[in-house]
Chain A
Amino acid sequence: GAGVSQSPSNKVTEKGKDVELRCDPISGHTALYWYRQSLGQGLEFLIYFQGNSAPDKSGLPSDRFSAERTGGSVSTLTIQRTQQEDSAVYLCASSLAHGQGKADTQYFGPGTRLTVL
């Protein structure tokens, strides 16, 4: 079956502009995660969606970052007034579920490489 897809694969933008990054999770996966990975670094958690529950936004680095998930499927991560320090690879992952005594495997998309000039 199809894996997690993300678009665009690369995005170059000017400082101050807004960007939208898209994630299509694996069909049937109720949990969706956004991470950020700076060059040569590990993964930084940004936000988590589970079904219809309120998302966990605790990892968002500033109020310039927001995300939504429409219809429990596709998710969009928006960065407003981009800064150079926002340059990174943004990774999306999905899993069947979490909680109730389980931690299902997260499957990752190919990422969006964002470059802010």
Chain B
Amino acid sequence: AQKVTQAQTEISVVEKEDVTLDCVYETRDTTYYLFWYKQPPSGELVFLIRRNSFDEQNEISGRYSWNFQKSTSSFNFTITASQVVDSAVYFCALSDTSNYQLIWGAGTKLIIKP
């Protein structure tokens, strides 16, 4: 069965600290996609990144970076030099090509204190 685990329910750090959000997934499929979404207090889900199972290169976008490791079934998300505006709930999700439903993690609430 497919499953996404975000073990960190809530993380609180002081501004400018680096923070890593963990995501561990389970799937039997060889072709699958992983996603991260951000949900700020306003409520709208904002797409951050999509990665397919054949691309294990890490990705960096500004202060955001993602570490995809198939060997440990993890797709972790790091925010460098965090800012108050990064405060949100972050969701990791999994999709395979046969089932259009996204399998969602429970989300990690990130609190950045000034």
Where the two chains meet, the residues of A that have a C-beta atom closer than 8 Å to any C-beta of B are 31, 33, 42-43, 45, 48, 50, 56, 59, 89, 91, 93, 98-103, 105-111, 113
Contact = CB atoms under 8 A, between A and B. Distances in A.
Interface residues of B, number: 24
Looking at chain B's contact residues, is the secondary structure mostly helix, strand, loop, or mixed?
A: loop
A111 B97 contact: no
B47 A105 contact: yes
A99 B97 contact: yes
Given A42-B106, A105-B50, A108-B44, A31 B100 contact: yes
Looking at chain A's contact residues, is the secondary structure mostly helix, strand, loop, or mixed?
A: strand
A116 to B, nearest CB: 18
Contacts, number: 54
Nearest to B32: A103
B44 to A, nearest CB: 5
Given A48-B101, A103-B100, A42 B91 contact: yes
Nearest to A58: B101
Contact of B97 (A45, A91, A101): A101
Given A42-B91, A42-B106, A103-B33, A91 B45 contact: yes
B44 A99 contact: no
B64 interface: no
